[in-house]
Structure 1
Amino acid sequence: MASEEDDIKFVSKLDEESKKKAKRELNELNDTDRILAVQSFRQWILQQKWLKTPTDFSFLLKFLRARKFSQLEARKTLENYWTCKTKTPDWFRNVDPSEPAIQEILKTGFYIIPKQLDKYGRRVVIEKLARLDLNDVKKKWGVANLYRVIALVCDWAMRDENVQVNGLVVFVDNTDITMNHMLTLFGQENGKRLMQFWQNSMPARVKGLHLYNEPIFYDAMYALISPLMKQKLKDRMFLHGNSLTKVYDEIGMSALPDEYLPDGYEGPRVGTQESIVDEMIEDMMSPEFREYIKDLSCEKYRVDLKERKEDDTPTESFRKLNVE
């Protein structure tokens, strides 16, 4: 088995209920099993000359968790992850949270993830495209920087063990959205690339997609997006109209910004959208995370598309590592 020094040093920060869920739903049976699974995954990686990736324990573990410890599926997702980043360098290379354009786009609050968990222990991705001034997107920042921010936020969130085990739920607020917003994000090849990253490359378990305040042009919007969606995601998509009551039933209130809470609410709060953005930026600007994301987005990690051969695709999973 291919081992590294930090393999036995890993200590899970999950609460007891999440540990039980990891065992029950993800096949993460025990510490020994987890170590052996990561080492088997790493051993396969080191045999692939076409694949350059970090091999530290925490990085590999999130891919295994995302695919319920199937070695085969974890390999596919890891390959997709680096293929996507190799083919679209303007979205993924040389990312630094301190860049002015990234800071300004983050501060719009169009794409935020509060740290607090929803009623099912999941992190909530809150997307509101109408917060974006399209003149700024097209003339000041460039559309590619929009995707760089989305990828940055996703890589940031996926380091959280709660996300790895309990998953993500997406809340899309369509208030004041225009068709131009949709065409900017999902038009031409950009939408296809974004959905490929979200559905095939990102080591995440997306447990629900909740749409609020759908616009009058929803049918046209859905026609644009639906061909890019897998059936599993379609099955987990819910339309709530202009009723936040339904959103509260599905997600709860504790993980939603103040702007979405009813008058008189006295329960736990995550704060305003602005305060959530400030908290995200503060966390991303920590020396530890900046070093992590700058390393992750450097050119040494990639898929060598010329060396990659179709017959290198793994044909079976050796997930079962049951060690008493």
Structure 2
Amino acid sequence: MSEFYDDYTSNARHRHYQKTGYHGKGAAIYGSGKMDGEKMTFNKHDANERYRALLILKDLIGASRDLALRDKSCYSDDEFLYRFLFARKFNVTEAFQLLINYQLYRQKNHDILQRLCVLDDTIQMALRDGFPGVLKNRDRRGRKVLVFFASNWDYTQYSLLTVYRAMLLTLEKLIENKQNQANGFVVIVDWTNFTLKQSAHLNPKILKLMIEGLQDSFPVRFKGVHFIGQPWFVEAALSVIKPFLNSKTRERIKLHGSNLSTLHEAVARDILPPELCGEGPQFNPLTWYHILLESSQMNAPPPHYCITQTIPYSKSPPIINANITKGSCNNNNNNNTSDDEMLVKSSKAQQYKGIAKCNNLINDSANNTLLNFSE
């Protein structure tokens, strides 16, 4: 960053400010956006302000000497750059640093990000177990809700790293929608019936890797993380990783224990599944899994500067109708194992045939219209 600012402080900045009408020093008004020294923040609700912020971010990329941005091909991809601006509330300086962090994270963790695609066998297993699940409806503030039923984790078939990879794949798909970029996400983790044996596979190195990626490197906003039914050993693990969390993240992690009424104060019952004592549709992990499958074959391959990959295949998966109940309001396990779950637990599941058409697509707008942005 310091190399960049030394360079940009001179000709590049002066040239850009001349084009956009800024001629002063120090604090200045930039439309309705404010610029205080190097800190530039714009109004995300104003299309002109958003575009001005985009132009400045492009100038920063063009003038940067940072090795993370030696490949500047993302410069011309406006939709990709807007992800970083939304993630930092159109503070251009912070968005630029987040972009650098994102590229550095990709380069540093190239091995674990290889074949990050829904066609990866272990990622499929995680998604089919609901890691993560995505609820159909948004909450009252327009945020998408991700759910995890921790007791369903079969650590003998896929690792915590695979769960993380499946989450990155999910998030990158979801932030293609600008409303998700702007309003962010809520995460609910149900730890009911999560065992001490399962907790032994919560690898500290992977947990730290997840924090580094999701908190500091990925263009996404987590507005709340809610734990319910957490046993003492999960709280102990949380106390170990808390030093790696920034103050804002720590404030947004809420521990509800068995008191679901406090969860319902944060996330309305009408969108939650019955498994969380809600009034919404029953949770089915295959819904989101099938959406990703279908999308992977319909959309163009993602640019190389994104973390996901598109891998074409000749065989397609069968339509599988499953009605899997995960957990209960009384914290009891459902001991009946469905045929679909048995397929997931098979380490060498056969290649699927035919893409499933999912009628319950996530209620997102596929276009770039900005609707109901929350603060």
Q: TM bucket by the smaller chain?
A: 0.7 to 0.9
Equivalent runs, 1:219-234 vs 2, <5 Å: 219-234=235-250
| Cα distance, 1:29–1:238 mapped onto 2, change above 3 Å | closer
Distance 1:148 1:223 in 2: 24
| Cα distance, 1:84–1:104 mapped onto 2, change above 3 Å | same
The match for 1:215 is 231
Distance 2:62 2:308 in 1: 19
The match for 2:175 is 158
The match for 1:292 is 302
Q: Residue type of the partner of 2:181?
A: Q
Deviations 1:42-71 (A, max 9, x none): 222133352135231111011111112111
Deviations 1:179-211 (A, max 9, x none): 444453442x22111101111112122111111
Contact kept, 8 Å, 2:42 with 2:50, in 1: the verdict is: no
The match for 1:274 is 285
| Cα distance, 1:105–1:215 mapped onto 2, change above 3 Å | same
**Residue 259 of structure 1, CA deviation:** 2.4
| Cα distance, 1:106–1:74 mapped onto 2, change above 3 Å | same
Equivalent runs, 1:232-311 vs 2, <5 Å: 232-261=248-277, 265=279, 269-282=280-293, 284-288=295-299, 291-292=301-302, 296-297=306-307
**Residue 228 of structure 1, CA deviation:** 2.1
Deviations 1:258-281 (A, max 9, x none): 42235xx4xxx3442235334543
| 1:54 counterpart = 2:80 | no
| Greater mean deviation of Cα atoms: 53-62 or 189-198 | 53-62
Contact kept, 8 Å, 2:226 with 2:253, in 1: the verdict is: yes
| Greater mean deviation of Cα atoms: 232-241 or 58-67 | 232-241
Distance 2:174 2:200 in 1: 26
**Residue 77 of structure 1, CA deviation:** 0.6
| Greater mean deviation of Cα atoms: 158-167 or 194-203 | 158-167
Taking only the aligned residue pairs, the percentage that are identical comes to 25
The match for 2:112 is 91
Based on CA coordinates, which of the two structures has the bigger radius of gyration? Answer: 2
Equivalent runs, 1:155-234 vs 2, <5 Å: 155-187=172-204, 189-234=205-250
| Cα distance, 1:182–1:231 mapped onto 2, change above 3 Å | farther
Matched residue count: 265
| Cα distance, 1:271–1:283 mapped onto 2, change above 3 Å | farther
| TM-score normalised per structure 2 | 0.64
Distance 2:42 2:144 in 1: 18
Q: Residue type of the partner of 1:130?
A: S
Distance 1:294 1:255 in 2: 36
| Cα distance, 1:298–1:136 mapped onto 2, change above 3 Å | closer
Q: CA RMSD in A?
A: 2.6
Deviations 1:235-290 (A, max 9, x none): 1222211122222221012332342235xx4xxx344223533454345434216x
Contact kept, 8 Å, 1:96 with 1:293, in 2: the verdict is: no
Distance 1:197 1:185 in 2: 17
Q: Residue type of the partner of 1:125?
A: L
Distance 1:155 1:249 in 2: 28
Contact kept, 8 Å, 1:123 with 1:168, in 2: the verdict is: yes
Q: Residue type of the partner of 1:205?
A: R
**Residue 224 of structure 1, CA deviation:** 2.4
| TM-score normalised per structure 1 | 0.73
Distance 1:298 1:117 in 2: 24
| Cα distance, 1:32–1:79 mapped onto 2, change above 3 Å | same
Normalized per residue, the structure richer in helix is 1
* Runs of 4+ more than 6 Å apart: none
Distance 2:180 2:219 in 1: 10
Contact kept, 8 Å, 2:83 with 2:175, in 1: the verdict is: yes
The match for 1:103 is 124
**Residue 231 of structure 1, CA deviation:** 1.4
Higher relative contact order by CA 8 Å / sep ≥ 6: 1 or 2?
1
Question: Secondary structure, in 3 states, of the residue corresponding to 1:93?
Answer: coil
Question: Secondary structure, in 3 states, of the residue corresponding to 1:217?
Answer: helix
